[in-house]
Each structure stands twice: as structure tokens, then as C-alpha cells.
Structure 1
Amino acid sequence: ALLLGLVGVCYLQFTHTSFSTSTEFQLGMPLIENIPHVYGPGFTFIEQALHGNTSFWILALLIFLKPLATSLTLGSGNSGGVFAPSLFIGAMLGGAMGGLFSAWNPELAGPPGAYALVGMAAVFSACARAPLTAMLIVFEMSNDYALILPLMLTAVTASYLAQYLHPESIYTVKLVKRGVRFDQGRDKDIMQGVQVGEVMLKEPLTIYKNQPLTELYRQFQETNLLGFPVLDDNGALWGIVTLLDLEKALSQESVGLPSLKVEDLATVDPLTVFSDEPIWTAIQKMAPRDLARLPVVSRQSEKKLLGLISRSDILRAYDVGIVRKQRGQLLEKQITFRQEQHNDFVEFRLKNGHYAVGKRLMELELSTFINVVSLDRESVLHIPRGGTCFDAGDIITLFGRKNFLGPTRERFFSGKEEKK
């Protein structure tokens, strides 16, 4: 597994090495003419390796020639993939190792084809950092349950070793080369950082349990809401009633609707959530029961209604969590940039009467030493462009040379630059 992981890292290094040139590139032709095994995906020769019909020396030679041929093909601008070559290299290395083990101890060693299968999974897992995918692909090819444990062990070990030696996969390394990077690791659930009280509907419309059904019908028609918390005579939470409850009552012709009250339809002692609990707690209560809303109560008194949280509020909570995550990432970058001696950040809020309000960024004619890195408008982060128009209440973040930050901020406020 360790050897297969190392080969996967080496193959990754080979494939993102560029050999491009301005003239027609023909170095691969002698290689293809003399050793046709490296041409194309090589599935035919993989099948021969799986059946153990290939000599050790051919397998060993192809371990080095296939990455070279792939690198020359991709680096010269020709079309080609990286998935099939990784399977090919794994099969060659696995088959070669299987041949060595069979020659050393034929009784204990299994067939070389089994080693080739395991090698395919391990090398692809090391290149793509996808051990589960590699295991499923190879298991589907073999349909042999006896290979499950070897596949799991080699694929996971090779993937972890490759991750330790090279942080990027065969698919992300090209993006990194172009300056596109993805944060590694599992992010903390952003819904854990948003409390129910931050997004709940405060002071929701309510109805009392002793009110007639006609009043409930009128409120549903006037508000277009789908549910109301139900209060008792003392104003404490008693239950909850929904439009579905009313529709069920209307469908029963035998029931005397004029004589019914809200308490005859409402659900008593509904599930509730506290305002200081994370949104994730509300989701865990609502999702399994297909609830559309939950009353929010106080910890001091579970009958004191503080608000109502619905599915739309949960979607808004996700937006709040995303903004907080973006702000955290921005703060981390600000700390990193501030380590540079001559650069810094400054943040300020625009107010009515400021020069920049109502103007586009291009109209301000800012210094080339200053970047407007973000615009926070109603808790939504934006990346300002030349045509971005500023409004009162916008929070502007500038980054650049320290001696230019003050004059630039004054430019936003008054339209003039301070003389330093």
C-alpha cells in the first residue's frame, strides 16, 4: 500500500509537468511505435495483466513509460485523460508485485491478477483522494468479495500517504497551478453557529383558543399565513393551529362549524424550541415530523411565547451562517496581510450626505495603491466592481498602503483627499 501510494504521488507530479512548445510536438511517436501498450487507455493490456499473462519485465517497464507518455501527451497540449492511466499504472505495479510474490512463495501468494486489481484501486485512490470510489470501481470489475479487505486497506493507506506527501489531488493540482485554491478539511456546520432567536419571527400573529372558527378563517384569508400559535386566556402558549386543520374541519359536513372554536382544532402542547438554541436543533425537530413551523419559547417559562420559526427562517439562517463564514475568512486574510509592514485594512460605514453615496466605484477615481475588497450591504457581502453603486449604510473595507488609506476614506466621505 505504501509503495502504491508513492507511485500515485509520482504519477501526479508527472502529469502536471508541462512540456509544451510552440512547434509541433512529436516525441511520443517513437514511443508508441515500439511499445504500443502505452497508447490509449490501455484497457486491453490491463486485462492481460489481470489474467497474469504478462512477463514481469514488461510490467516493470510500463510502470515508468506510461506516466512519461501521459505527461508528454498532456504537456504538449494534446487531448487525454488521467483516470485511465492511473488504473493502468496501478495494474502494472500490482501485477509486477504479484509476480514477484508468486516467484518467491507460490503457496502463500495469490494470483498476480488479484494484486493488479488492488494496485488499480490504490493508485487511483492516491491520485484522486477518493478511496471509496476506487474500491467500488474495482470491486464492480472483479465481483470478488474476498478482495474487499485488501482493497480497503491498500486504498485508504495509499490515499492517506499521498495526502501527507502532496496536499493536492490529480484534479485540483491544475487549478492550484492557475491560482485557484480550495480550503481543505471539513467545515464546521454553519447552522450550529446561528441561534434561533437571530432569525425567528418576533411578535408573530396569534389567536386565542376561545375565539370562534370564523375568526380563524378570516385571519387565514387576510394574512395568507399557514399557521398561528394559540394562546390561552392568560396569554400563555397553549397550542398551534394550521390551515390544514381548518381544511379538515371544513371537509366534515356533519360538524357544526359556527359552534366550533379554535381549541377544537388546535394541536395542544406543540413541540417548541428555545431562542438560544442553534438552528440545527430546530431542524432536527421539524424535519422528521414534516413540521413547517415551531413556536419559540423562553427558558424561564416554556409557556411564554417569544416568536415563531418557519422553514423560510431556516433558509435565512443559512445565509446568515454563510456571511459569518465569509467574514471569518476575510478576518483571517486580514491578519495575514497585516503582517506586511506597509499594508493594512480600514473599514467604515457610509452615511447620508457622504460624497460616495449614489456614485459608482469608477467615478471615485481611487489611488492604484488601494483596493476596495468588500462591500457589506444588509449583512450580504459583495465584491465591488467598477459599476458598483454605493448606498447609505454600506460597510466598505479597503486594503492597501497605509499612507493612502486615510486620504481614500476621506475621498468616500467628502470627495476630497487629505494632504499628507
Structure 2
Amino acid sequence: MAQETVQQLPAAAPATPARALLPLILPALVVGVGASLLLLGVSVAAEELQDVLWRNLPDALGVGRYSALWMVAMLTATGVAVGLVVWKVPGHAGPDPATTGLDAPVLPPAVLPGLVLATALMLAGGPSLGPENPIIAVNVGLAFWLGRRLVPRAPGGLWAALAEAATIGALFGTPVAAALLLSEALAGRQLKGALWDNVFAPLVAAAAGALTTTLVAHPSFDLHLPAFGRPGWGDLLAALVVASVATLLGMCAVRAFPYVHGAFARLGHPMVALPVGGLVLGLLAALGGHLTLFKGLDEVGEIAADPDRWSAGEFATMTVVKLAALLVAASCGFRGGRIFPAVFAGAALGLCAHALVPDVHPAVGVACGVLGMLLAITRQGWVSLFTAAVLVSSPTVIALLCMASLPAWLLVTGRPQMQLRGDGTPIR
């Protein structure tokens, strides 16, 4: 029986010789460093503009930096500015962002400047989106365009793989996230060679991107929540409940996505859809407070620094408003990704659970809230687990996260994703 079973297993793919992998190292290093520097450049430029828009300008005008009036005016103005880029700049800042994910298409070089400008304006102006999707698209386009000219014999797909891995590594400050994403993307494919042969060059690019970001910007995802010790039965129950609730809440946004996107699409012009979207985002910010603005990474650190500062109702309001802001921003045409605002919504939900039931440890609540929300919004299992784990920096919570991911995944698998086809129907 054992011999028959062995015979039924597929033969292992032959390993790629080292001489075929060695020439990939230098291009991977160059793409990794370049992708990280572009991400850092856009981020720094957006932060400088954000300081002008949200600190210097309101102070000069004598209005509150985060008053309801200023938030509504600034988000609407951001919609106008991004709308002008989408309308007038060559390439129209790329395809409809509702139709794109982390696996970016190769865009023509003429499209990339407008996409960079729209992304920087969005990051500075306050909409609830992150930089990941458009920056990956820009890095993929640049790597493909330059790579085909400098190394014409290399396969075109290599440059896209290197740029995607490098940008993910740069975003998270570690190549582990890129490796997990690659392994998930390669699952089920007929690979030529062993798995590590296929991820060798992208992993080099991811490591180069992560190291460049770490050496230049010193990022940290640890929220410095109270230390979590040995898990108990109550912690397991809390993990299962919080992750499942977060998943269900995230799926509400996913279900609403094609309808909200369709409503903005019927407005017919970016100079209408984006300003109206900005106005709605400003009203949401006035309801939820300034912490529900921007991509959410710095704001997660603020709410996690003092979990007892806000009530359960305030955390619940922030959760719902942030998720609604993510839904509107992704639907009306702002260029951006959904990972970081989903992290904020999940963390706020986890802290809401802690405020309602103090026995729910803050680290368990935050990690499982982020896990469930990311599974619903991104449908990336490994990245969701990784992101949830690094936020709390507690090895003992990983087993709880793995258990909590099981019911959460059952709630999302086979159901619509937060990404649309060209005809507006959701991808499953």
C-alpha cells in the first residue's frame, strides 16, 4: 500500500542549477533598492504636503486643524485635485482602482507620473487608502520598461515578480511578507523547478527593498500593547469571536462595494465622482474624528498606545466610520490600497471588544480583529496572519491566530472579493 501511494505522488520538479540563478541576483538587488526608494520618496513627499495642508495652512487661517469644517473642505479639495489629475494628466492615473489588486498590470510609462501624483495627493489629503496598490503598479511598470531595455533576454514576467516582491518587502520592512504572498500566488501552479528556485530572485528583491526601507526610515509595526502571556480557554474563545465578527463586518463592506462603486460610476466624470467622494469622506471624518483619516498606520499606534482612553462606543464608531471611508475612497476613484485602513478598522474593533469585555486581552483583540478584517478585505491568508502577528510581537498569539483564521476563512472563501471586473461585477 505504501509503495502504491509513493508511486501515485508526482515526481519532484528538477532543481534549477545555480548558474541559472546567479545572474538574477544583481537585477533583483537593483529592483529591490529602487522600489524601496520610490516608495520612500512618495511617502516623504506626501508627509511634507500633509503637514502643509493639515498644520501650516489651518494655523495660518486661524481654523482648527481637525475641525469638522476643515476636514470637509480639505477632503473635498483633495477630490478636486485628484479628479483633475485623473481627467487631464496623460494616462488618467491608470485603470479604475476598483479593478486592481496587489498583482498589478504592466502599465505604459506615460501613465506612471500621473499615478504617482494622484497617489501622493491622496496620501496627503486624508482619504482612507494606503500606498500599496499604486506604488506596486508604478514599480512594476518601471521595472518592466527598464528591464526589457537593459536586459532584453530576461523574461518579461521576471520584472513584474521582482517589483511586486520588492515593494511588499519595502512596505512591511521585511521580506517575509513577500515570501508568504509569493507562496500563496504560486500555489496550484505548474512550477518549473523547485519552489525555492522560483522565489529565489523575488526574495532577493524583497530583502533588498526591506533592508533599504529599514536602513533609511526605521519602520516598526509593533504597537507596544501589554504583553500577552500563556493563552487560556477564554483567550481562544475571544480570538474565535473577535476574528469572526471582524470578518463579517468586513464582508459587509465587500458586499456593498459593487453597489457603491456603481453609484459613483453613474456620476460619469472624475471631476464629479472624486469631489463628491471627497465630500462624503469629509462628512464621515466629521462623524468619526480625525483618527479615521489617512491610511491609518500612525493612527493605529495612537489608539493602541492607550486602549483605555476611548470607550467601547467610540471604538465602535471609529471601526464603522473607517470601514465606510475605505469603501467610499476605493469606490469613487482615489488611487490607493486597502491593507492599512483595514488594519485600523480591525484594530479599533479589537479594542472595542476589550472595552466591552475587559477579560479580552488587548493584544488578542487587536490581532484577531486585524486578521478577520484583512481576510475579508484582501483575501490574502498569509499576509493577514503575518500582519496580525507583527502588530503585537507576541509568539504565543500565533497559535490563537491560526485557530481564529479557520472560521474566518470559512466565512470568506468562495464569496465576492473587494475587487471588480471591468464590467463592475465582483471577482470571486
TM over 0.5: no
TM-score for both structures, normalised by structure 1: 0.37
- Using the size of structure 2 for normalisation, the TM-score is 0.37
- Larger Cα Rg: Structure 1 or Structure 2? 1
Q: Which has the higher strand share?
A: 1
Bigger proportion of residues as helix: 2
Per chain length, whose mean CA-contact separation is higher, i.e. which structure has more relative contact order (CA < 8 Å, sep 6+)? 2
